């Protein structure tokens, strides 16, 4: 009976940890990677067929194979790495800067009532300004070069990280703090041994949504004026009437955006393995 059940659940669930992996016959047909690829693969095939039979005109929507050729071509003549590299650099710098500012301000506001009264209203007011509205001002202040772009991305990253740090710290279970107090921990020890680990999940959620916004803002920054980068490729594609360049750039954005999120997600599952979360089946 028990064996039977484990087989049944092996078919319908993808990763239940409670059963030893040796007796669980994992069906290759329900692997998440496979399930997730069904629709994209289908879409690409249909698209390719429709483009080849010229249902979509090539000057509007070129076939996937043409887009792949464009990317391969850029890789071969070496321009691809410059574009990807500079865009990645901007996002990384903006992300680090925005996160650093958010950690400092978020911790202050999370820990100290007075800091909350002092900073939070202002930060909340700034939050209601759509961040892209800063673009002209930043360009005016810092010119069209790297600083204004990185500053913009940092602004985009700042808010989600800040908000999640504040809510993470103020949401720590009072009961756990009491446990620490009973063992005579001082404020510093309480922060290190209880508040930080308890606020970590929320912080990581903030990092991931911050990174997502970082990718959004780099597009805006590069569209405004750049001589290199994936966003610049979008502009080039538009000006030279080359949809394959535009779509190639979009695909590259998707791939490296996903990759960077995957890195954070790995970090999350590694550090938060203790969390008691519902497993989907």
Partner 1 sequence: MSLQLERVGRTFAGKAAVQDVSFRAEPGEIIGLLGTSGCGKSTLLRAISGLDTEFDGLIEINNKKVDDIQKTTGFMFQEPRLLPWLNVLDNVTFGLEGNREEKKKKAGRYLESVGLADSEKLYPKQLSGGMAQRVAIARALATSPEILLLDEPFSALDAFTKMQLQDLLLEVWRSYQSTMVLVTHDVDEAAYLCDRIIVLRGQPGKVEREITITEPRPRERGSSEQAAYKAEILASLDLTTDTA
Instruction: List residues binding partner 1 (CB under 8 A).
Output: 175-176, 178-179, 181-184, 193-194, 197-198, 200, 273-276
Nearest approach, Cβ of residue 277 and partner 1 (Å)? 9
Lookup: tokens for 82: 């410059």
- 25 vs 184 by CB, closer to partner 1: 184
CB of 165 to partner 1, least distance (A): 17
Measure the CA–CA gap between 162 and 110, rounded to whole angstroms: 10
Looking at the Cβ atoms of 21 and 128, the one nearer to partner 1 is 21
Shortest distance, CB of residue 168 to partner 1, whole angstroms? 13
In angstroms, the CA 273 to CA 259 distance is: 21
Nearer to partner 1, 128 or 186 (CB): 186
Handedness of CA 111, 115, 121, 127 (dihedral sign): negative
Identify which of residues 71 and 194 has a Cβ nearer to partner 1 in the complex: 194
State in angstroms the smallest separation of the CB of 179 from partner 1: 5
Which residue lies nearer to partner 1 by CB, 197 or 225? 197
Q: How far apart are CA 27 and CA 160, in angstroms?
A: 39
- CA 182, CA 90: separation in Å to the nearest integer? 47
In the complex, the smallest distance separating the C-beta of residue 270 from partner 1, rounded to whole angstroms, is 12
Which residue, chain included where needed, has tokens 């903006």? 94
Rounded to 5°, the CA angle 168-170-175 comes to: 100
């Amino acid at each position: 009976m028990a064996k039977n059940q484990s087989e049944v659940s092996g078919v319908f669930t993808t990763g239940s940890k409670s059963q030893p992996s040796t007796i669980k016959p994992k069906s290759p047909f329900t692997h998440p990677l496979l399930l997730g690829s069904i629709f994209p693969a289908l879409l690409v095939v249909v698209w390719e067929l429709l483009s080849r039979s010229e249902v979509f005109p090539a000057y509007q929507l070129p076939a996937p194979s043409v887009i792949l050729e464009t990317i391969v071509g850029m890789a071969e003549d070496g321009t691809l790495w410059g574009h990807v590299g500079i865009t990645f650099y901007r996002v990384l710098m903006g992300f680090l800067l925005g996160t650093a500012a958010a950690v400092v301000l978020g911790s202050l506001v999370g820990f100290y009532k007075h800091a909350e009264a002092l900073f939070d209203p202002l930060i909340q007011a700034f939050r209601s300004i759509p961040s892209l509205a800063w673009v002209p001002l930043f360009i005016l202040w810092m010119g069209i070069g790297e600083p204004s772009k990185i500053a913009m991305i940092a602004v985009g990253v700042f808010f989600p990280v800040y908000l999640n740090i504040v809510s993470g710290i103020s949401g720590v279970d009072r009961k756990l703090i009491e446990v620490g107090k009973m063992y005579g921990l001082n404020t510093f020890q309480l922060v290190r041994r209880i508040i930080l680990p308890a606020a970590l999940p929320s912080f990581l959620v903030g990092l991931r949504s911050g990174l997502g916004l970082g990718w959004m803002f780099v597009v805006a920054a590069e569209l405004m004026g750049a001589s290199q980068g994936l966003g610049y490729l979008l502009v080039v594609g538009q000006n030279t009437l080359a949809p394959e360049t535009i779509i190639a750039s979009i695909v590259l954005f998707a791939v490296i955006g996903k990759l960077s999120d995957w890195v954070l997600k790995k970090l999350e599952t590694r550090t938060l393995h203790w969390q008691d979360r519902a497993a989907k089946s």
